[in-house]
Amino acid sequence: MIVSTITTLGIQCSKCGEMQFRTLSMFGFSHFNKENYYCSCGALFMTITSFERGVYSIEYPCIYCGDSHYIATKRGKIWGENILQLGCSDKGLPIGYIGPRQQVINCCRGIKKEFVQFAYQLVNDEEKEPEFDIFFIVYAVMEKLGKMVERGQLGCRCGNKNLAVEILPDRIELICEACRAVGIIYTDNKEILHIIDGMGSISLEENMTWLLNDSDKGHHLLKK
CB of 44 to Zn ion, least distance (A): 9
How many whole angstroms separate alpha carbon 34 and alpha carbon 111? 27
The one-character DSSP state at 40 is T
Write down the least CB distance from residue 23 to Zn ion, Å: 18
Count of all residues that appear for the chain in the document: 224
Using an 8 Å Cβ cutoff, are 50 and 32 in contact? yes
User: Is the CB of 88 or the CB of 167 nearer to Zn ion?
Assistant: 88
Q: Give whichever of 60 and 79 is closer to Zn ion, judged by the CB atom.
A: 60
Q: In the complex, which residues of this chain contact Zn ion (CB under 5 A)?
A: 13, 15-16, 39, 41, 43, 62, 64-65, 88, 90, 156, 158, 160, 176, 178-179, 181
Residue 45: CB minimum distance to Zn ion, A: 7
Minimum CB–partner distance for residue 85 and Zn ion (Å): 13
Instruction: Rank residues 34 and 161 by Cβ distance to Zn ion and give the closer one.
Output: 161
- CB of 13: closest distance to Zn ion in angstroms? 3
Residues 213/190, Cβ–Cβ less than 8 Å = no
CB 105, min distance to Zn ion, A: 18
Nearer to Zn ion, 39 or 123 (CB): 39
At how many degrees (to 10) do helices 111-123 and 132-150 cross? 60
Query: Which sign does the torsion angle of CA 196, 201, 205, 206 carry?
Result: positive
User: Considering beta carbons, is residue 26 or 71 the nearer one to Zn ion?
Assistant: 71
Alpha-carbon distance values, 65 to 50, 96, 119, 141, 154 (Å): 26, 15, 12, 12, 18
Report the helix count and the strand count for the chain, using DSSP H and E.
5, 14
Instruction: Return the number of the residue (62 or 142) whose C-beta is nearest Zn ion.
Output: 62
